[in-house]
């Protein structure tokens, strides 16, 4: 049965874009990028958010596969997963920078006198 795209659940790349759209979630990703394996308490430190708000942001980041959780005793350690961001890069950014990079390479060759037969 066909389901129109606007009625289908968010696909994985949409979840990544949604997760990255919020500055608080980007701040959490930056914190984990700086030091992986933080607890909720550690991630809350220095943020102007309630513990519950941070937990909700982390849940959305987990749903987007940007954060993974590992239990260590009674604590949950949060880890940044860069793979979904790399997939966004491969799908959306790389193809737009390729023509520019090719033009810069061609200009470099011309300026350095390469490529003349």
At residue 9, the pLDDT reads 53
Task: Quick: pLDDT tens for 31-54.
Answer: 999 999 999 999 999 789 999 999
Residue 11 in tokens: 């696909």
CB 47 within 8 A of CB 54: yes
More reliable by pLDDT, 6 or 96:
96
At residue 115, the pLDDT reads 53
Strand spans (E) along the chain: 67-72, 75-80
Q: Which CATH number do you get for residue 39?
A: 1.10.10.10
CB 78 within 8 A of CB 38: yes
Residue 19 in tokens: 């997760």
CB 77 within 8 A of CB 39: yes
What does each C-alpha distance from 15 to 52, 88, 108 come to in angstroms?
21, 11, 39
Number of domains in the chain: 2
Domain range for 103 is: 82-117
Residues 39 and 91 in one domain: no
CB 58 within 8 A of CB 42: no
């Amino acid at each position: 049965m066909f389901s129109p795209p606007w009625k289908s659940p968010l696909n994985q790349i949409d979840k990544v874009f949604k997760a990255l759209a919020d500055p608080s979630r980007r701040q959490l990703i930056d914190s984990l990028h700086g030091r992986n394996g933080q607890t909720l308490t550690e991630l809350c430190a220095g943020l102007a958010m309630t513990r519950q708000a941070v937990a909700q942001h982390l849940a959305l980041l987990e749903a987007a596969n940007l954060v993974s959780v590992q239990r260590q005793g009674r604590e949950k350690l949060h880890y940044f997963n860069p793979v979904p961001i790399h997939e966004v890069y491969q799908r959306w950014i790389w193809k737009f920078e390729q023509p520019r990079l090719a033009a810069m390479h061609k200009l470099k060759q011309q300026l350095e006198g390469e490529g003349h037969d």
